[in-house]
Amino acid sequence: MTPTDSNMMVVREQTPSEALAIVPIQFFVPASQQTTTDADFEPTPMLQIEGARETTPETPKQLQETTPNLPPAPTKIHPDAEDAAALLMMARTASYVPKTDPGMPSFSLGLTDSSQEGASTQDTEREKSPETATMLEQLDSLVQKLASSASKGKDESPQIQRETGGESSAKVETPGGINQIPDDMKQKCYIWGTRLKENAKGDTDEYEEICTLIGQGEYILMRTHLASLQAKSDIESQIVSAICLILNQKKEKRFQAQIYCLPPDIVSMALSDHPRGEFIFPKTNKEFRVEAYPSFIHFIDRKKLSSHPYIFAPVCHSGHWWLWLINTRKRKCQILDPLHKKAPSDERKDINKFTGYVFSRLITYAGGKPLEKGEKEKEIKAPYVKISGQKTSYDCAIYVMKWLELIKPENFKKGKYEWDNWTQEEVDHYRVEYASRILFSEMNKQRDRAIRESSVIRLSKPSSVLLSPFCQINSADIETG
């Protein structure tokens, strides 16, 4: 038997001269669908179809001429329209089930008269399995799509997306597409951004500038700031400021028209100058003035600060974070504290009064109306909202940053905010999320470097372990190419 004969199957055709005749049909299997075992080079047994009479006449010349000669399989992922058509033909052939009537052939080419056509079609459809029907529908769709694309241009071929270095940087180019970044890429970014290297002299790279956010100005983050996102660490004020700047640039109604996230830099500097909440700076005997902090003024969006109905303002003192919610229309304030349901001490009450005054002065500086007039501006009250919060002593900043994104002021009822608190596993994972969100932000001028240097990291520990903040990483666990 020749190789050409090996790719033939024989069916019967009823002719006037004899009851049944064997008609060979030649078909080819695309090379892309074949395996590379030694069996491919052995002749394929001819498919014999049982019937009342078995003869093997010569192959009709007309049938040979109309049989398509399929081209070699292309070296690309998707098959050509011809390949898909061949697959469809074979699938339709395989879908037929032998009938129980011994007097009729077990395979039909559809060469029936018009009176029997409908009945035979219905019988065949009933005998198809659900899996076969699904496969045929998928192949039909594939053939139509490929035929359509082929009609537009025969020389066009589908583009193959190739990724090198772990993951393609194209996956982080869409604005607000942080959730599209694969977990392993976020993980690599977290490790790269938070790891401190030490040289032979004992010096570290903690003061290396690795992130420059471009907003109203250049906001620079050093590696030591990102390192505060490590396990069980208190998060630096610069990280919270970076998240505020990024959220304020999001193309969402929440941040473009309703809520302005006030970066905490000026408030943090003011509290360092007024550590107990006194209104007179002890060293200079002067009151708080916004103009005294020119290095941070240009990071404030004055238009949003004076026009948005809500201001969300993070505050940090003695290593603890809480959040002020300011309703500029009603001139009312509330405090969300991840750890406390009320002011824990008289000192905290004084600090709250001072920070309320600072917020009022900042709004006035931006062109808005003060929260209170005259001396009452130093007596601004902000009741605490009862809300479920942190489970550890070091996650307060995580809660504050997530609240900036999620809290809905309209959902406050009688001094309470009901919501489903996060599990500790979720809170732990947010440290990884914030590192990648900052470093992969489109505002980061050094974003390409973060993508490139994160991609080459090879992790020697399982992902589930690395994503835990309780996993301490050192140079022995990480390799770079």
Q: pLDDT digit string (tens) for 49-90? A: 344 444 444 444 443 333 333 333 333 344 455 554 554 555
DSSP string, 158-204: PPPP---SSS-GGGG-STT-GGGS-HHHHHHHHHHHHPPPB-TTS-B
Q: How far is CA 296 from CA 262, 301, 362, 448, in A?
A: 11, 11, 12, 26
Size of the chain in residues = 481
353 within 8 A of 282, measured Cβ to Cβ: no
- What is the pLDDT averaged over residues 368-379? 95
What is the DSSP secondary structure assignment for residue 18, as one 8-state letter? S
Write out pLDDT tens, residues 390-409.
999 999 999 999 999 999 99
Percent of the chain at pLDDT exceeding 90: 53
Write out pLDDT tens, residues 185-207.
999 999 999 999 998 888 999 99
d(CA 313, CA 321): 11
- What is the pLDDT averaged over residues 252-276? 96
Per-residue confidence (pLDDT) for residue 217, from 0 to 100: 86
Per-residue confidence (pLDDT) for residue 103, from 0 to 100: 41
Per-residue confidence (pLDDT) for residue 181, from 0 to 100: 82
Hey, what CATH class is 200-421 in? alpha beta
Q: How far is CA 160 from the centre of its chain?
A: 21
Per-residue confidence (pLDDT) for residue 36, from 0 to 100: 46
Percent of the chain at pLDDT exceeding 70: 58
Where are the chain's structural domains?
3-152, 200-421
pTM: 0.62
Per-residue confidence (pLDDT) for residue 124, from 0 to 100: 44
Q: How far is CA 205 from CA 43, 108, 198, in A?
A: 67, 77, 7
327 within 8 A of 309, measured Cβ to Cβ: yes
Q: What phi and psi values does residue 314 have, to the nearest 5 degrees?
A: -70, 145
Write out pLDDT tens, residues 280-331.
988 888 899 999 999 999 999 999 999 999 999 999 999 999 999 999 999 9
d(CA 382, CA 350): 12
Per-residue confidence (pLDDT) for residue 250, from 0 to 100: 95
How wide is the angle at C-alpha 81 spanned by C-alphas 80 and 85, nearest 5°?
120
Per-residue confidence (pLDDT) for residue 409, from 0 to 100: 93
Sheet (strand 332-336) strand order:
259-261, 310-317, 320-327, 332-336
Write out pLDDT tens, residues 122-172.
444 444 455 555 555 655 665 465 555 544 444 443 333 333 333 333 344
Estimate the crossing angle of helix 447-455 against helix 183-194, to 10 degrees.
Answer: 110
Per-residue confidence (pLDDT) for residue 99, from 0 to 100: 42
Within 10 A of 199 (CB to CB), how many other CB atoms are there? 8
Please say if the pLDDT value at position 412 is more than 50: yes
Tell me what the pLDDT averaged over the chain comes to. Answer: 74
Write out pLDDT tens, residues 203-243.
999 999 999 999 878 999 999 999 999 999 999 999 999 99
Per-residue confidence (pLDDT) for residue 37, from 0 to 100: 45
